[in-house]
Structure 1
Amino acid sequence: MFIVAYTRRKSIFDRFFEHRDSLIIQFRNGDITKREFLQMNFDFIQKIRMKPFDRVDSFEKGMYNYQYYNMLAKYYTMLGVDIKRQGKHYKYFKNHLNKAHRYYNEKDKSTLKLLRYLEFENVDAYFIKVESEKLKNKLYEIVLNDYEFAIFHSKSKWLLKILRANGVFEEGKRKSLIDNYINEKY
């Protein structure tokens, strides 16, 4: 007698969230640095070759879009900073930073699409305490309370205005839920 075991093939979202959650846990445990976290996320997104979704009609699509643009923005920022530290190729430094800024803008648009899909329900947003002088009074956190590891960050003034208009932004500063990640340099 043969027993046939049915195993469902993992969807791209299963693979994406498992990889993402694994990296978050490794970072929290101190097993990888922020730089390694960013590089591994970038490599994974490149490997799966899945582009962002035009329409966000699920949490998974919205989270993927945010992660996609956020990782590209942070990756190109990291490359730009590396070039600047070496003191050469100013043109490449500026090119990487321009790419990063474009990706950060797309990330903020993706965040808004996801928030609209969720109808701004069970969302908290607030400014966070940071060590970076450049980010003080600019960086805020958006938490989707119904989902694990759904913590977004932005400096966007236009998105902040929308968060306030929808009654989810709380004035004042708090410690970030992922303070170690936020304040670690890469």
Structure 2
Amino acid sequence: MIGIRRRNAFEKFFENRSFLIKMYENNSITKREFLEMNYEAIKNSCIRPFVKIDSFEKGLYNYQYYNSLAKYYKTLARELKMSKNYKRDRNTYLNKCDHYYYLKDVSSLKLIKFLGFKGVEAYFIETKSVGLRGKLYEIVLRDFEEAVFHSKAEWLLTELQEAGVFLEGKHKSVISEYIDERY
């Protein structure tokens, strides 16, 4: 059971997440601003990732937590200026990015397994990014609002295919504008 203070922080996090999604959908903020605000919310939260996923909310929180950190370090790596330690610093940031993306994918699978793969649909998505074509896939949790995950992990793809929830062909993302917007 989550303590009262922690539960309030948990509820506040999800309210803020929904608010940011609505702001993005209404073009009030850019994708980059969305990601920055999401990262700040994670950074300032008293909640750390959950070891045991025994609710949808915990699984979604973990996904969001690790995804935010991965995107943060990816942005730092992109924005590094040439300096004496450029290569070392860039590699450090990219390694952290990869690590957090891996933890995000582990969290996705834990949540999907908790749900028993029910209401889960996954497929490759159409994207403007040449580097992501044929690699990026979407995982939609049909029974939950605002529950759309993305991954490129081959091991997770295999799990989804073996569970029979991965659809053939390429499909339009349910959040295609977000996917195709650079940050």
Task: Pick the TM interval, shorter chain.
Answer: over 0.9
Q: Which residue of 1 aligns with 2:20?
A: 23
Q: RMSD of the TM alignment (CA)? A: 1.4
Deviation at 1:55, TM superposition (A): 0.2
Large movers: runs of 4+ above 3 Å: none
Q: Which residue of 1 aligns with 2:140?
A: 143
Q: Which residue of 2 aligns with 1:156?
A: 153
Aligned residues: 177
Secondary structure in structure 2 of the residue aligned to 1:11: helix
Contact 2:59 2:108 in 1 (8 A): yes
Instruction: For 1:69 and 1:127, locate their aligned partners in 2 and report how far apart those are by CA, in whole Å.
Output: 22
Q: Which residue of 2 aligns with 1:66?
A: 63
2:167 pairs with 1:170: yes
- Structure 2, unaligned runs of 5 or more: none
Instruction: For 2:150 and 2:158, locate their aligned partners in 1 and report how far apart those are by CA, in whole Å.
Output: 14
What letter corresponds to residue 169 of structure 2 in structure 1?
Answer: G
**Structure number, greater radius of gyration:** 1
Superposed CA deviations along residues 41-90 of structure 1, whole A, max 9, x for unmatched, are 1111111131100000000100000000000001111111111xx44422
- The share of aligned pairs that are identical, in percent, is 51
- For normalisation by structure 2, the TM-score amounts to 0.93
Secondary structure in structure 2 of the residue aligned to 1:143: strand
Superposed CA deviations along residues 119-146 of structure 1, whole A, max 9, x for unmatched, are 0001110000111111110000000001
Secondary structure in structure 1 of the residue aligned to 2:118: coil
Secondary structure in structure 2 of the residue aligned to 1:171: strand
Instruction: For 2:115 and 2:138, locate their aligned partners in 1 and report how far apart those are by CA, in whole Å.
Output: 17
Deviation at 1:176, TM superposition (A): 0.6
Instruction: For 1:129 and 1:90, locate their aligned partners in 2 and report how far apart those are by CA, in whole Å.
Output: 33
- For normalisation by structure 1, the TM-score amounts to 0.92
2:78 pairs with 1:81: yes
Among 47, 50, 54, the residue aligned to 1:50: 47
Secondary structure in structure 2 of the residue aligned to 1:149: coil
